[in-house]
């Protein structure tokens, strides 16, 4: 004969054990779901900030880039006495095109064709100096490595006419005149313009 009084407590203990495991599993699932939601929200926030998590947010989504001006003094004494300080012809034109391309590729702002719009930032850039310096000589006092530097002054005006950024930006490029890493000064000048344009983009976008 089956003892029902003995089996009933066993069944209750088994049900309680199953219920306890189910509750524990539910707690684990709930915690994992909360973790996924938190991870998604953090990722979404960081992707929206792009360059920085502490910068301000521009209301403008477009940017007008004025043609770059070249104000390097060609009458400077150091330039008139030597061709050491010569710089690329039509430097400002190449610089303007490179700068526009940088912003187009970056995509944070749409480059506007017209500056007279209230929903656009206005970026102006003036080239103030182009310099070349020797970094390394050979044992026979021949120049082995040189560095080029380009200094540009930028201003960013908001759509409401309020100044937002005004600063100097300095780009640079180095090159070897001989050896396996040799490159022409013309090639280095192209890298110099590209580096300066990239730094200007960062100077503007880091505030986004």
109: closest CA among 58, 61, 65, 51? 61
d(CA 200, CA 194): 10
CB count in 10 Å sphere of residue 153: 16
d(CA 150, CA 132): 9
Which tops the pLDDT comparison, 60 or 16? 60
d(CA 125, CA 167): 10
CB 111 within 8 A of CB 103: yes
Q: In this model, does residue 45 exceed pLDDT 50?
A: no
This prediction's pTM: 0.68
Which tops the pLDDT comparison, 117 or 8? 117
C-alpha torsion sign, points 42, 43, 46, 49? negative
> What would be the CATH architecture of the domain defined by 62-205?
2-Layer Sandwich (3.30)
User: 3-class DSSP state for residue 136?
Assistant: strand
- Taking the domains of the chain in order of start, what are their residue ranges? 1-49, 62-205
């Amino acid at each position: 004969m089956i003892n029902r009084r003995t089996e009933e407590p066993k069944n209750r203990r088994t049900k309680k054990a199953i219920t306890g495991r189910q509750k524990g599993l539910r707690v684990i699932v709930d915690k994992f779901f909360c973790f996924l939601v938190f991870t998604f929200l953090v990722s979404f926030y960081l992707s929206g900030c792009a360059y920085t998590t502490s910068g301000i947010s521009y209301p403008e989504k477009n940017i007008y880039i004025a043609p770059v001006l070249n104000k390097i003094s060609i009458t400077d004494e150091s330039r008139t006495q030597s061709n050491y300080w010569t710089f690329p012809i039509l430097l400002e034109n190449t610089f303007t095109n490179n700068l526009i391309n940088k912003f187009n590729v970056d995509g944070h702002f749409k480059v506007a064709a017209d500056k007279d719009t209230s929903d656009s930032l206005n970026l102006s850039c003036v080239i103030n100096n182009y310099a070349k310096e020797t970094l390394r000589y050979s044992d026979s006092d021949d120049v082995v490595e040189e560095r080029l530097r380009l200094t540009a002054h930028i201003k960013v005006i908001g759509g409401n006419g309020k100044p937002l950024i005004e600063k100097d930006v300095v780009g640079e490029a180095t090159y070897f005149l001989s050896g396996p890493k040799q490159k022409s000064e013309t090639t280095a000048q192209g890298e110099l313009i590209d580096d300066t344009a990239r730094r200007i983009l960062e100077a503007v976008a880091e505030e986004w």
